[in-house]
Structure 1
Amino acid sequence: MIGIGIDTGGTCTDAVIFDTKSHKVLSQSKTLTTRQDLKVGILRALGGLDQDLARNASYISLSTTLATNACVEHKGGRAKLVFIGVNPQVVKKMGGEYGLPPMGDIYFMKGDAGQPDSLENTPDWQKFEEDIVQDFRDFDSVAIVQMNPKYNDGEYEIKAEQIIKKTLGLPCVRGYDLFQELNVQKRGATALLNARLLPVMEDFFDSIEGSLAELGLDLPIVIVKSDGSIMSREFAMSRPVETLLCGPAASIIGAMELSKYQDALIVDMGGTTSDVAMVKDGIPVTSESGISIGEWKTMVKGVSIDTFALGGDSAVKYKRGQLYLDNRRCVPLCMAASQYPKMRKALKTLVLMDRPFDYPAHEFFMLVSLPTNLDKYTPSERKFIQALEDGPLIYREAAAAIGTSPHVLNMKRLEDEGTVIRIGMTPTDVMHVYGDYTEFDSEASRMGAAYLSAVTKGTPAEVCKEIYDLTKCRLYSNLVRIFMKYETGRDLNLQECEDLEKLTAYIFRHSGQNLADFAIRPVFSTPSKLIGIGAPTKIFLADVAKLLGTEADFPQDGKVANAIGAAMGNISTECVIKIEPYKGIKSSYLTYIISGGHETYSLPDYDDALVEAKKTARQCAIQRSRQQGAVGEVEVEIEVKENTYQRNKYALAEIIETLVIARAISEKE
């Protein structure tokens, strides 16, 4: 079968035509991602493929890091979180551990379905309807999550959605529709993130469909899930959170297809993030507890991927004359200047001044997209947007455009939303100075390095070396952290991460010195091989692999591994049904509660409950496969896990919970 795989990353969009039977790339294309209009970049990537082969394709499969990058960069649509029956003090005590917003940004209302009905516990729907008119007017979507939804099948969530849609017409995400696990705060974080990603995914699919229409291609559209399987466009539109690690998951599949190593750490460095995954015996290590990205902890199941902010487009910042890498992406000077040549004049003027500024004077602001509703912005924000409509403005000019000082200029909200993005010095610019990559305007990169030399009191050559070293050092530090996580079976806490970062920085800085110069020298080494994919990876990973005492493989088609992985996926779904024994407070009568499907019910006999749970799990898995785009026969495997508890060595073990897991595998449409 011939399929088209396309990956839209933060910097580049890759496309391949892949033969799944012969495992060969028949045609490939790479172009820049055009964030202001995704369709432009996608159309270029698809247009760069062999069009005769493209017309013979059976489907188009997508992967993207848009959701991943939105999490890392704190971007996305404006979404409001509603908690029903959740104790505000419990949420406050957790201190945003799951990525939840500040307390004042969450709407709390009564309604714990697990508690007896009472006046103190009944939702006040009239007050809710009155409050949302004022409180929710500046939001694009709403996430609704109730406490103990299994006791009334999410009835309160459904009621709240009806009121919001009737009153405001906003799209809603119901937490119980997404996941049925008990942890309400984690479910809240997952639902809120899903709501924030709705406009991101909508723009992405609109761009794909528009591009296919222009090329005259009528193909079924599927997209990679975080576990490496695929789902239909319709399913992904309602559950964009399932694409959280869509791009990284595709890169793992592609890397395993291309590399000779079966036991390795896969390292994929893109423009915004680096994604790392462990492969054992040719099988990716999976995350059972749910995916975590940055501060977000979710219930999304997927391959165990560690994503951290490091890429070719990581912004180079400075503080008190010292350079450092920011977690956010910015547009490299070389890329922007090739599109807006007038930037060179502003950079040249800055360099001729031969003096550093407290603010990032070498950075520009650029308008990514013009908002459809300007009324929700402040007068300064509207003026700033208007000033950028004619093209990027260097920092000082951008501040002057709204009548403020560059020392106090703050457009954080516009940057967080992705309406405005900065242009600045990046590792990609250093690649252009060194000649490692020369696709764009190298002169702009050299002027950026010249300005930073005034900041650091060093030469431009020293500035470039420092930026490369900062990139390699962060990569080295994170790979050591990830190896330690797999070795210990747990994530390092904040203090441990800070200590490790200091130690790895020390090791990296002194790695070129003679061993005789040390009384004792700390060393981290690993027997695991490294697989490097992604355009900038080879530049930085080779030295890091040497420092770790191992080898790195850089597959020939590694630069389009994500698109290859997207083209190879199959539909795979899982449904978990839970059986729990329950004894009433005033009765010794034992019954078994069955939950996790569309409704919660109980049966008095365990064997009968197990039969029904298997039946429900099978039906649920098949239904989800159909929703994700499966056609034809669906194969289902059933697994039963009984969790028991033994009071003492003399007592019989009691079943406290039974999990019935149905896994369905099928081919895409």
Structure 2
Amino acid sequence: RHMTGLDNAVVSDIGGTTTDVAVLDGGRPRLDPEGATVGGFRTMVEAVAMRTFGLGGDSEVTLEDGVLNPKILLGPRRLVPLALAGMAHGTAVTSELERQLRAPNPGRMDGRFAVRTGVPDRLAAGLTGAEAKLYELIGAVPLAVDRLLTSNAQNATLNRLVSRGLVHVAGFTPSDAAHVLGKQANWDPIAARLGAELFARKRDGRGQNIAASPEAISERVLVTLTRWSAEYILETAFAEDGLDGASTVAHALVQRAVDAHPGIARLSVALDRPVIGLGASAPLHYAGLPPLIGNDCVVPRDTDVANALGAVVGQVRVSAEARVSQPMEGLFRLASGETVRDFLDEATAIAAAEADVRAIVAERAMEAGTDSAEIDVATEFRVSTVEAQRMFIEAHVVAVASGRPRIAV
């Protein structure tokens, strides 16, 4: 909001490993008492209503199995990009990629390396015999997986070492694709191109190469990342509208709408607000978003440091609530904080409730670190009509105080 001036938007933050999506309403992020959603699971701690997906610039690139025309699949696992591994380890990576390219046929493990993460050895306690043996073979310099593994069973062992945080796998990622196309240039483009060549040699269901060149496969990978980003943004929007986000996005009608599929029945889908793209790679991966989401995508100038900036401009936000009920006709009972008081008319009880919650949030805001909080009070009434007469049932009064943190001297 600070970077764009937008009060209503869908905010999508793409990093190396994940994409985080949340909704901004009236200048504030929507909150959820059950917490953020990570990998389909709720954290159950009140927080910003954010959904986290395993999609980023360093996502693992794989192919769909068992089909004639396999789709590109991304994530959810993160790999060390070959371009980054090549920059750090030079010919230890590029010479192995060149060796694999000289082979007459593509290998299932081409373009993959294993390297220790560098955690202390004590964290490797409790490994099984097979895990310990494999871990011993892996060092601080990336080792080609086709030299390391001798059976499919060892691949599962390697994955267990990765899940324990002991080993990284390096391989072809969207970051490598960006290096091949000259859209990213901070690591080693040679290793990235070799990895793209190896990936392009993979075979489809007819035994043909899946792409004609490193550039062609790299373009497909980046287009896929943008498309998946659009689907995750729409999934969040559908979920916020009370639908099952994942199944709604997967529906054939939504897919046809996102694709702008031509037909007698023309379909379209559009967000009611723009997207704010955050993250260092947002200018690249979100450039093609607007036609997919039916709205604009705003990428702020300093989007690569948005989270650091957010820590500076973020606000203190606290809330308090009170309830007014009518346990018997003509008696209005206010429950506010730890006190309960009775009043003989509705207006007085509501005024007292609003005064109480204002005082409570003002004190809480002061304790939370702001001296200049703005306080908003909202009252929700529950009433019924009996014989054309309004009958008060309950009122829910909520006060929210927000303000900049005080500056420590």
**Does 2:295 correspond to 1:295?**
no
Q: Deviations over 1:257-312 (max 9, x none)?
A: 3336555444332222233444456x145234443323222454444444333221
After superposition, where does 1:160-559 map in structure 2 within 5 Å? 256-259=1-4, 263-279=8-24, 283-293=27-37, 294-320=39-65, 322-341=71-90, 342-358=92-108, 360-368=109-117, 369-370=119-120, 372-400=122-150, 405=152, 408-456=155-203, 457=209, 458-459=211-212, 460-485=214-239, 489-499=241-251, 503-504=255-256, 507=259, 518-525=263-270, 528-548=273-293, 550-559=295-304
Deviation at 1:434, TM superposition (A): 0.6
Partner SS for 1:317:
strand
Are the structure 2 counterparts of residues 549 and 298 from structure 1 closer, same or farther at C-alpha, using a change threshold of 3 Å?
A: closer
Distance in 1 (alpha carbons) for counterparts of 2:139 and 2:365: 45
Give the corresponding residue for 2:405: 667
Q: Output the amino acid matched with 1:317.
A: T
Q: Identify unmatched segments of 5+ residues in structure 1.
A: 1-255, 584-589
Distance in 1 (alpha carbons) for counterparts of 2:274 and 2:402: 33
Deviation at 1:582, TM superposition (A): 9.4
Partner SS for 2:287:
helix
Contact 2:36 2:49 in 1 (8 A): no
Are the structure 2 counterparts of residues 354 and 461 from structure 1 closer, same or farther at C-alpha, using a change threshold of 3 Å?
A: farther
Contact 1:594 1:613 in 2 (8 A): no
Give the corresponding residue for 1:103: none
Q: Deviations over 1:126-165 (max 9, x none)?
A: xxxxxxxxxxxxxxxxxxxxxxxxxxxxxxxxxxxxxxxx
Distance in 2 (alpha carbons) for counterparts of 1:547 and 1:636: 38
Q: Output the amino acid matched with 2:177.
A: V
Distance in 2 (alpha carbons) for counterparts of 1:575 and 1:330: 45
Contact 2:176 2:189 in 1 (8 A): yes
Are the structure 2 counterparts of residues 575 and 348 from structure 1 closer, same or farther at C-alpha, using a change threshold of 3 Å?
A: farther
Are the structure 2 counterparts of residues 331 and 299 from structure 1 closer, same or farther at C-alpha, using a change threshold of 3 Å?
A: same
Give the corresponding residue for 1:560: 305
Contact 2:322 2:398 in 1 (8 A): yes
After superposition, where does 1:506-655 map in structure 2 within 5 Å? 507=259, 518-525=263-270, 528-548=273-293, 550-576=295-321, 603=340, 605=342, 622=363, 626=367, 630=369, 633=371, 635=373, 637=375, 639=377, 641=379, 644=382, 646=384, 653=391, 655=393
Distance in 1 (alpha carbons) for counterparts of 2:43 and 2:385: 33
Partner SS for 2:61:
strand
Q: Deviations over 1:389-416 (max 9, x none)?
A: 433333234435xxx5466423444433
Deviation at 1:324, TM superposition (A): 1.1
Contact 1:642 1:655 in 2 (8 A): no
Distance in 2 (alpha carbons) for counterparts of 1:267 and 1:485: 15
Q: Output the amino acid matched with 1:352.
A: R
Contact 2:258 2:269 in 1 (8 A): no
Q: Output the amino acid matched with 2:115.
A: M
Q: Output the amino acid matched with 1:667.
A: P
| Total equivalences in the alignment | 387
Distance in 2 (alpha carbons) for counterparts of 1:336 and 1:649: 77
Distance in 2 (alpha carbons) for counterparts of 1:433 and 1:468: 11
Please, what TM-score do these two structures have when normalized by structure 2?
Answer: 0.75
Partner SS for 1:410:
helix
Distance in 2 (alpha carbons) for counterparts of 1:500 and 1:625: 52
Are the structure 2 counterparts of residues 366 and 506 from structure 1 closer, same or farther at C-alpha, using a change threshold of 3 Å?
A: same
Deviation at 1:663, TM superposition (A): 3.2
Give the corresponding residue for 1:164: none
Q: Output the amino acid matched with 1:663.
A: A
Are the structure 2 counterparts of residues 644 and 562 from structure 1 closer, same or farther at C-alpha, using a change threshold of 3 Å?
A: same
Please, what TM-score do these two structures have when normalized by structure 1?
Answer: 0.49
Give the corresponding residue for 1:192: none
Q: For structure 1, which segment, 411-420 or 604-613, has the greater mean C-alpha deviation from structure 2 after superposition?
A: 604-613
Distance in 2 (alpha carbons) for counterparts of 1:614 and 1:376: 59
Partner SS for 2:122:
coil
Contact 1:363 1:422 in 2 (8 A): yes
Contact 1:581 1:657 in 2 (8 A): no
* Structure with a larger share of its residues in helix: 1
Are the structure 2 counterparts of residues 306 and 373 from structure 1 closer, same or farther at C-alpha, using a change threshold of 3 Å?
A: closer
Partner SS for 1:466:
helix
Partner SS for 1:455:
coil
Q: Output the amino acid matched with 2:75.
A: D
Identity of aligned residues (%): 21
Distance in 1 (alpha carbons) for counterparts of 2:365 and 2:121: 36
Contact 2:162 2:168 in 1 (8 A): yes
Are the structure 2 counterparts of residues 656 and 416 from structure 1 closer, same or farther at C-alpha, using a change threshold of 3 Å?
A: farther
After superposition, where does 1:139-158 map in structure 2 within 5 Å? none
Are the structure 2 counterparts of residues 484 and 478 from structure 1 closer, same or farther at C-alpha, using a change threshold of 3 Å?
A: same
Deviation at 1:436, TM superposition (A): 0.6
Partner SS for 1:346:
helix
Are the structure 2 counterparts of residues 592 and 529 from structure 1 closer, same or farther at C-alpha, using a change threshold of 3 Å?
A: closer
Deviation at 1:336, TM superposition (A): 1.6
Q: Output the amino acid matched with 1:396.
A: D
Distance in 2 (alpha carbons) for counterparts of 1:544 and 1:581: 52
Q: Deviations over 1:210-253 (max 9, x none)?
A: xxxxxxxxxxxxxxxxxxxxxxxxxxxxxxxxxxxxxxxxxxxx
Q: Output the amino acid matched with 1:329.
A: R
Are the structure 2 counterparts of residues 424 and 609 from structure 1 closer, same or farther at C-alpha, using a change threshold of 3 Å?
A: farther
Partner SS for 1:258:
coil
Structure exhibiting the larger radius of gyration computed from Cα positions:
2
Partner SS for 1:445:
helix
Are the structure 2 counterparts of residues 405 and 285 from structure 1 closer, same or farther at C-alpha, using a change threshold of 3 Å?
A: closer
Deviation at 1:449, TM superposition (A): 1.2
Contact 1:477 1:501 in 2 (8 A): no
Distance in 2 (alpha carbons) for counterparts of 1:551 and 1:642: 34
Q: Output the amino acid matched with 1:363.
A: R
